[in-house]
Amino acid sequence: MGFESSDDAAIYRIDDKIAVIHTLDLFPPVVDDPYLYGQIAAANALSDVYAMGGTPKLALNILCYPEDLDGETIKSILQGGYDKVREADAVIAGGHTLKDNEPKYGLSVIGFVHPDQILTNSNSKAGDLLILTKPLGTGILNTAMKANLIKKETENAIISSMAELNKKAYQIMSNYKVNACTDITGFGILGHSYEMAASSGVTICLNTNSLPLHPEVRDMAKMGIIPAGAYTNRNFLEGKVKADPSVALELLDIMYDPQTSGGLLISIPEKDAYRLLNDLKAEIACSEIVGEVIPLDDYPIIVK
């Protein structure tokens, strides 16, 4: 599996019992604390393996850093990544560094999956319900955090969410017959939903009343604290999203908002969706059913 779909990782089938999942991700700092930055970047990279239905096993560091960055800061970034990979029961086995004007950190990750258990974003079926496992709004709130516009409790909440592995969500959903899955990252929930809808030949209807949101994000969106990536996502999706006129502008902005290390978006038949939701809520209280899948309509994405 490679270029033919917009999936989260590449997959190479070795034999009838094992396939390798391979992914790569890195980005500049989203928080000031280097250790937390390392954790968030690692959690974000590991998430692609969980979204494909696999278990991370091996990771390599990718680190870009300016020459004047002190050694303790570099060590803290790498320690954050190491600790998060260890939490995933995987191994850091070296990596690569290079000089750059701006720090960037991430991982190349290898995971394993049985070929019959591979999850893609291209098998969503009409009649499925969609479950989201993390709140939305990290892009907007990271922008607001840089300007000291949000409460300390909100800062702590979004940092904790970004650093949280999607490991629990993956383990719980693996007990069910899930049709499709993706993780919500830079394209926002609308962009990643569009990829799922377009690849699956269906229309996805998202319900704004059930979206889990981070504290203060709606207020910040109303103030116009919107990152540039949200406008890029909006431009890309022009003509692909039909929003009900009653949907508030700030909610649409939140749905275009690029997420860092967001949750899993799980497409599962309705008959199993509520049982899966109950199991998820027992471990991940913010999990919600956020939409449904219908036969292909005039638009791939409908927002109500």
Residue range 225-259, pLDDT digits in tens: 999 999 999 999 999 999 999 999 999 999 999 99
Task: Measure CA of the first residue to CA of the last residue in the chain; give whole Å.
Answer: 34
Element spanning 151, H or E: none
In CATH, the architecture of 10-117 is 2-Layer Sandwich (3.30)
Element spanning 174, H or E: none
128-303 is classed CATH 3.90.650.10: yes
How far does Cα 271 stand from its chain's mean position? 25
> d(Cα 150, Cα 159) in Å, to the nearest integer?
13
Enumerate residues 6+ apart whose C-beta is below 8 A from 107: 24, 25, 26, 41, 42, 45, 46, 59, 60, 61, 62, 81, 85, 95
Q: Strand order of the sheet with strand 19-27?
A: 10-13, 19-27, 104-113, 55-65, 91-99
The segment(s) of the chain belonging to CATH 3.90.650.10 are 128-303
Whole-number pLDDT of residue 1:
59
DSSP code of 262?
A: -
The segment(s) of the chain belonging to CATH 3.30.1330.10 are 10-117
Q: Residue 220 pLDDT more than 80?
A: yes
Tens digit of each residue's pLDDT (9 = 90 or more) over 250-302: 999 999 999 999 999 999 999 999 999 999 999 999 999 999 999 999 999 99
Q: Residue 187 pLDDT more than 80?
A: yes
List the Cα angle 11/95/40 in 5-degree steps: 75
Tens digit of each residue's pLDDT (9 = 90 or more) over 61-115: 999 999 999 999 999 999 999 999 999 999 999 999 999 999 999 999 999 999 9
Enumerate residues 6+ apart whose C-beta is below 8 A from 96: 60, 61, 62, 63
pLDDT band, residue 4 (cuts 50/70/90): low
Q: Residue 42 pLDDT more than 90?
A: yes
Whole-number pLDDT of residue 15:
96
pLDDT band, residue 5 (cuts 50/70/90): low
The length of the chain, given as a count of residues: 304
